[in-house]
Homo-oligomer: A and B are copies of this chain.
Amino acid sequence: MSFAPLDPILHNQLRLAVVSLLVGVESAEFNFILEKTGATRGNLSVQLTKLKDEGYITITKGYRDNYPLTTCKLAPKGIKAFEQYVKAIQDYLKP
């Protein structure tokens, strides 16, 4: 096999976008990610949960101005997985 396997958790447009976003920042709020990715709330909620379940991100729930506030932060496992994914997909991109 000349092609490294691609982490199926990251090989999804929205999840990859989320992790890519988080790599650049300390943390990000639900609505910020929503806007940057253009996703629907439902889809984003599902994919954030998946990333959390996988240990790629941590999710903190709080309140601000009386409204729920969900904050996401990349976990070490997520960082490693992202770096690994970036390395792996290079094999596919330059023939």
- State which residues 52-76 of A face B: CB under 8 Å: none
Q: Contacts A21-B95, A95-B21: A36 and B89 contacting too (C-beta < 8 A)?
A: no
Interface of A is mostly: helix
Query: Number of copies of this chain in the oligomer?
Result: 2
Q: Contacts A36-B1, A38-B1: A93 and B13 contacting too (C-beta < 8 A)?
A: no
A10-46 vs B, CB cutoff 8 Å, 1 = contact: the mask equals: 0101001100110110000000000011100000000
* Structural contact, A92 and B2, CB atoms closer than 8 A: no
Chain A: residues with CB nearer than 8 A to chain B?
A: 1-3, 5-6, 11, 13, 16-17, 20-21, 23-24, 36-38, 86, 89, 91-93, 95
